């Protein structure tokens, strides 16, 4: 057979012999490790391991069966959790936006260049404004308006659309609505948001205005997983850029856009490459 | 006479003709403008101007008398405030520390190299530990212990020492005590503090631990003027540096030190060069 | 009349009284200075001044006549050069590209958001590939192929097109052809190029490969004015971004794109706002 | 026995089974892997592995004997090179300086705080000027003047001193002399230099002046291993910091100092922690 590639993520209690056990198991089943990154949480001793490998004897699907049988034996009594991803199972990304195009266009451009490591299957917005900019990228555009007092209806339609698209990752690329806890629980899959501040500073609405009023000398951008508590989910990537007393709120917004774009792209790419593991509201990002 | 140099800071309501009026006044009195920086607050129309100049006909002291007579006439009805600084009146800086030497050593080194644009006249600490490191810089070291329940006595002694030293600027270079409102009002002159976070994130104690627990991907340092509200004074300079999931609190502290040092030095230098103006809890920094 | 806004750039030998003279001239003619930035070259004493102002009594066109009569008198014997720009005379920008879209899309997006301070009047490429991406921005796209041994014909057609478009600024947004000295002299107006290295490191072709081979830990991007000597023109803006031993040439190119985009946008915007002055192959950028 | 810690560095041709083989060998000999970082050169397939581990059954010295017997068997036919470092064998660092103290003071401060992961055993200078600044750190200071036409005598004395000190790492912390190829070959151990430019830009003397003259908008610092070709050795760490048209050569030097200090410290620390491997004039830095 032609070799296939996959990513194995392991999380368990730490103990001597894990690496020897798992790497021998992989070797004995014809797998060659290409990348290996590990981390141990100093506070609770939890061990995390990402293995990117080439399987030379078995299709990844078959290897899944082997690992399901063997891993719990090799790592018994260690509260093992593991996931195996087949390189050919590309994630299906839905980008959600309101009226600001910069993050959306950037992600579509990277998709167009084949850089993302996943497929953008749709753009969904609560406004029709950005549709013309999406067209040349040949990605479908859906408008799901969110009317006052009818948010649940909009979210029901959104959930339906995401499911029909077989979406596996939602990216909020400056989507100006807060998703309800009900929606998040019903959806149950990862959502990455870009917040235009250096979290935990300036949570909530108008972070650039808040930054201006506090008189900071840097503004930030934070990509994080969405959880029920607003802007409090695990942080994947952050960056800052300098501002001065000369900058109005509008200037700050203009300067901030560049880092919103690059921080969001960095986080989405890391997620798609299975480089991000979540532990106790923090992320391990194997770069 | 040999020419003398000085800095004129002007703050007033904005109106056409200010630059023409003041620059003509200076020119007519033999002054040549070397640097000129201005800013107008977009919200309230307040105008700020820093002029660094050479006086060829009058000593700065005499020029002060001329400006005191003429400026209120040229800028009448504009709620004028102004200050004139003579280059030869060097500021007298007192550095306050506890047990961590990095910011103190950096400022002393810059002083030693003649870079600061002011004179370090003493180091004051609540602990004797750092005295040996101060010695080679030939700067006196005072220990003023702060005992529990006797903070007011310590602050009285501190105030006394600062006054005897004719200190004009206090720099808190990782001084681990909070100065009381009573002390701040009695002292009445500028105090610059370095806080080891990207304010307004992680106010108060143990910001590096707070940063670790929130799982941020960057840590920051903020130099600000001290006001009665903790860590809420006008920000002069800020910077951030990347951290990863691998970094313990101790690693974060080690990485943060480099930016604490450079941010504090940048802020102190800007203050000493009269490049910092305060307006509504924000700073204008003419760089 | 309604007030009009303009930018006055002055370059002359330094001498006391310049600011007083010019600001009084402007004030007497009903102009209010909004921004004023100056610089003096420490090596040769040349003085540079940018004044952004509001003219309340005269249209900018009329003010031009007044300044033409008065400025040489006020600044006589100082080798004066000056330029006056009317805010309503928007620059006409032509973007030139080959096959990589990122810088082009970014500039078109900023144009779309009204951020550029000038108008993109066309995109010109030596390949037809990017035309579909330009369409939604409603900017005309021209293909001018450059065939081997027929570069002069292509450049003649390019010059013709630029002139017909009344272009005032050419931006090489990853245009993979070197423009000949003959073309540059015939064109005679500013051209801004983005080079994907930290100049003067890695001049010429394949800078990312050169960076990979030297094993640098940062890669850079440089926006500069094009001159006859390759990659040697005055630098307007630069930035760097970290790379590691893990990064292949392709990874470096992917990481470098973000700073190419932001550095080029920053330089183009500064140029359009008349914030860039050139002196002895260096730029003064009033930010 | 109490557990001991060590670092194992492996370099060999890549082949499936290496990780399984070595990790099983370590596990069978009572070693627990704490950190594991690997890299494969995409161009020539060379494999690099750093393992930081705890040995629970054998002293590191004894483990060395075991590995010497077993590793060549496990990794046969792979052109294996390996090194084992005992955590208790601290490196002995000699800092070399001329007259500028900033990098030296920073390294001494980190040594004083116990951050370096090695011991500074001496400071050697060609000038006596910095001796007083070294005294409080309780590190011996040697002056070895370098007279014109008598460089070889000076280098002979230097070599002698380094050998008597049992030095294992020389750090050139702004040492203004070029060491000859004869000296480098005779010494034969690592030397880390800080060059105050973004190499390969501005090789040789006066890089800040070169930067000023080229009109760059960023200046850099590069820490690299010294080789016979000037400023061309493998780069360990680099950083840049912004400069503007306002900055004189002196300002640039002042701004550059901060990054010289942090880049050199980062490189020295990475080297001392055995995180740096050299391959084909590039470094792999496991951070």
pLDDT digits (tens, 9 = 90+) for A8-51: 999 999 999 999 999 999 999 999 999 999 999 988 999 999 99
Please report the pLDDT score of residue A1 as a whole number.
80
Note whether B265 contacts D: Cβ–Cβ < 8 A.
yes
Percent of chain B with pLDDT over 90: 97
Of the candidates D37, D89, D231, D258, the residue annotated as catalytic is D231
Tokens of A200: 């935990």
Query: In whole angstroms, what is the distance from residue C164 CA to residue A216 CA?
Result: 47
Is C77 an annotated catalytic residue?
no
Residues 90-109 of A with CB under 8 A from C: 101-102, 105, 109
What DSSP letter does each residue of D34-81 carry, written as one string? EEEEEEE-TTT-EEEEEEEEEESSS-HHHHHHHHHHHHHHHTTTS--E
CB pairs under 8 A between B and D: 36
Point out the residue among D19, D28, D35 whose CB comes nearest to the CB of A23: D19
CB C158 within 8 A of CB C152: no
Please report the pLDDT score of residue D253 as a whole number.
97
Please report the pLDDT score of residue A190 as a whole number.
98
Query: In whole angstroms, what is the distance from residue A91 CA to residue A272 CA?
Result: 7
| Residue B150 DSSP one-character state | -
Q: Are strands D169-172 and D191-195 parallel, antiparallel or unpaired?
A: parallel
Judging contacts by C-beta atoms under 8 Å, the chain C residues touching residue D246 are 39
Note whether B251 contacts A: Cβ–Cβ < 8 A.
no
- Cβ-based neighbours of B219, under 8 Å, separated by 6 or more: B196, B197, B198, B208, B211, B240, B241, B243, B252, B255, B256, B259
Read off the pLDDT of residues D156-195 as tens digits, 9 standing for 90 and up: 999 999 999 999 999 999 999 999 999 999 999 999 999 9
Residue with tokens 């200078």: D125
Domains and CATH numbers, chain C: 4-86 (3.30.70.260), 91-285 (3.40.50.170)
Q: CB distance A202–B200 less than 8 Å? A: yes
Please report the pLDDT score of residue A42 as a whole number.
86
Q: Which other chains touch chain C, taking contact as 3+ CB pairs less than 8 Å apart?
A: A, B, D
Please report the pLDDT score of residue D96 as a whole number.
98
Read off the pLDDT of residues B122-173 as tens digits, 9 standing for 90 and up: 999 999 999 999 999 999 999 999 998 999 999 999 999 999 999 999 999 9
D273, pLDDT greater than 90 = yes
B16, pLDDT greater than 90 = yes
Q: CB distance B105–D102 less than 8 Å? A: no
Query: In whole angstroms, what is the distance from residue A20 CA to residue A24 CA?
Result: 6
How many Å lie between the alpha carbon of C74 and the closest alpha carbon of chain A?
31
Read off the pLDDT of residues A214-241 as tens digits, 9 standing for 90 and up: 999 999 999 999 999 999 999 999 999 9
Percent of chain D with pLDDT over 90: 97
Chain C interface, best mutation among D217, D227, D239, D244, by max C CB count within 10 A: D217
Of the candidates C231, C247, C251, C258, the residue annotated as catalytic is C231
Nearest CA in chain A to C247: A287
Query: In whole angstroms, what is the distance from residue A12 CA to residue A41 CA?
Result: 11
Q: CB distance C284–D202 less than 8 Å? A: no
Count how many residues are written for chain A.
287
Please report the pLDDT score of residue A117 as a whole number.
86
Q: Binning pLDDT at 50, 70 and 90, where does residue B241 land?
A: very high
Note whether B27 contacts C: Cβ–Cβ < 8 A.
yes
- Give the pLDDT mean for D59-70: 97
CB B167 within 8 A of CB B158: no
Note whether C40 contacts B: Cβ–Cβ < 8 A.
yes
Please report the pLDDT score of residue B117 as a whole number.
86
Please report the pLDDT score of residue C117 as a whole number.
86
Q: Binning pLDDT at 50, 70 and 90, where does residue D1 land?
A: confident
Of the candidates B231, B247, B251, B258, the residue annotated as catalytic is B231
Note whether D27 contacts A: Cβ–Cβ < 8 A.
yes
Note whether C241 contacts B: Cβ–Cβ < 8 A.
no
Query: In whole angstroms, what is the distance from residue D179 CA to residue D271 CA?
Result: 21
Note whether A278 contacts B: Cβ–Cβ < 8 A.
no
Task: Find, among A233, A260, A239, the residue nearest to A104 by Cα.
Answer: A260
Point out the residue among B136, B246, B265 whose CB comes nearest to the CB of D136: B136
Judging contacts by C-beta atoms under 8 Å, the chain B residues touching residue A220 are 198, 218, 240
Please report the pLDDT score of residue B217 as a whole number.
98
Point out the residue among C32, C36, C37 whose CB comes nearest to the CB of B16: C32
Q: Are strands A282-285 and A276-279 parallel, antiparallel or unpaired?
A: antiparallel
Q: Binning pLDDT at 50, 70 and 90, where does residue B72 land?
A: very high
Query: In whole angstroms, what is the distance from residue A126 CA to residue A145 CA?
Result: 4
- Give the pLDDT mean for A196-212: 97
Please report the pLDDT score of residue C138 as a whole number.
94
Note whether D25 contacts C: Cβ–Cβ < 8 A.
no
Please report the pLDDT score of residue D277 as a whole number.
98
Read off the pLDDT of residues C88-99 as tens digits, 9 standing for 90 and up: 999 999 999 999
CB C48 within 8 A of CB C38: yes
Residue with tokens 């009665």: B228
Asked if ipTM goes beyond 0.90, one says yes
Query: In whole angstroms, what is the distance from residue C134 CA to residue C111 CA?
Result: 12
Q: Binning pLDDT at 50, 70 and 90, where does residue C241 land?
A: very high
3-state secondary structure of A97: strand
Query: In whole angstroms, what is the distance from residue B35 CA to residue B10 CA?
Result: 14
Note whether A244 contacts B: Cβ–Cβ < 8 A.
yes
3-state secondary structure of D161: helix
D101, pLDDT greater than 90 = yes
Q: CB distance D20–A35 less than 8 Å? A: no
D202, pLDDT greater than 90 = yes
Q: Binning pLDDT at 50, 70 and 90, where does residue B272 land?
A: very high
Read off the pLDDT of residues B202-227 as tens digits, 9 standing for 90 and up: 999 999 999 999 999 999 999 999 99
Query: In whole angstroms, what is the distance from residue D235 CA to residue D173 CA?
Result: 15
- Give the pLDDT mean for C199-223: 97
Count how many residues are written for chain D.
287
Tokens of C264: 């080029």
A 10 A CB-CB count for A155 gives: 20
Note whether A239 contacts D: Cβ–Cβ < 8 A.
no
- Give the pLDDT mean for A143-160: 95
Read off the pLDDT of residues A81-127 as tens digits, 9 standing for 90 and up: 999 999 999 999 999 999 999 999 999 999 999 998 899 999 999 99
Q: What rounded mean pLDDT belongs to chain A?
A: 96
Query: In whole angstroms, what is the distance from residue B264 CA to residue B235 CA?
Result: 11
How many Å lie between the alpha carbon of B182 and the closest alpha carbon of chain D?
35
Judging contacts by C-beta atoms under 8 Å, the chain B residues touching residue A215 are 234-235, 281-283
Please report the pLDDT score of residue C233 as a whole number.
97
B42, pLDDT greater than 90 = no
Q: What pTM was computed for the model? A: 0.96
How many Å lie between the alpha carbon of A26 and the closest alpha carbon of chain D?
8
Query: In whole angstroms, what is the distance from residue A282 CA to residue B217 CA?
Result: 10
- Cβ-based neighbours of A41, under 8 Å, separated by 6 or more: A47, A48, A279, A280
Query: In whole angstroms, what is the distance from residue B271 CA to residue B285 CA?
Result: 9
Point out the residue among D23, D34, D37 whose CB comes nearest to the CB of A23: D23
Note whether A235 contacts B: Cβ–Cβ < 8 A.
yes
Q: Are strands D169-172 and A31-40 parallel, antiparallel or unpaired?
A: unpaired
Judging contacts by C-beta atoms under 8 Å, the chain C residues touching residue A254 are 115
Percent of chain C with pLDDT over 90: 97
How many Å lie between the alpha carbon of A19 and the closest alpha carbon of chain D?
6
């Amino acid at each position: 057979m032609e070799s296939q590639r996959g990513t194995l993520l392991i999380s368990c209690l730490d103990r001597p012999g894990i690496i020897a056990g798992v790497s021998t198991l992989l070797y004995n089943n014809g797998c060659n490790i290409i990348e290996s990154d590990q981390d141990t949480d100093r506070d609770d001793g939890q061990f995390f391991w990402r293995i990117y490998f080439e399987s030379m004897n078995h299709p990844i699907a078959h290897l899944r069966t082997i690992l399901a049988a063997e891993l719990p034996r090799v790592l018994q009594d260690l509260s093992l959790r593991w996931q195996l991803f087949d390189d050919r199972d590309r994630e299906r990304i839905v980008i959600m936006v309101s009226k600001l195009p910069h993050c959306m266009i950037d992600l579509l451009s990277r998709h167009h260049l084949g850089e993302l490591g996943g497929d953008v299957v749709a753009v969904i917005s609560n406004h029709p404004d950005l549709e013309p900019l999406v067209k040349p990228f040949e990605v479908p555009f859906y408008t799901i308006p969110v009317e006052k007092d009818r948010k649940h209806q909009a979210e029901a339609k959104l959930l339906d659309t995401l499911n029909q698209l077989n979406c596996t990752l939602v990216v909020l690329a400056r989507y100006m609505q807060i998703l309800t806890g009900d929606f998040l629980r019903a959806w149950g899959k990862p959502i990455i948001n870009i917040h235009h501040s250096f979290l935990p500073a300036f949570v909530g609405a108008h972070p650039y205005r808040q930054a201006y009023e506090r008189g900071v000398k840097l503004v930030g951008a934070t990509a994080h997983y969405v959880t029920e508590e607003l802007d409090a989910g695990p942080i994947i990537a952050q960056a800052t850029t300098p501002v001065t007393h000369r900058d109005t709120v509008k200037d700050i917004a203009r300067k901030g856009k560049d880092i919103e774009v690059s921080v969001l792209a960095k986080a989405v790419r890391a997620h798609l490459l299975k480089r991000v593991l979540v532990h106790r509201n923090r992320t391990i990002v194997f770069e």
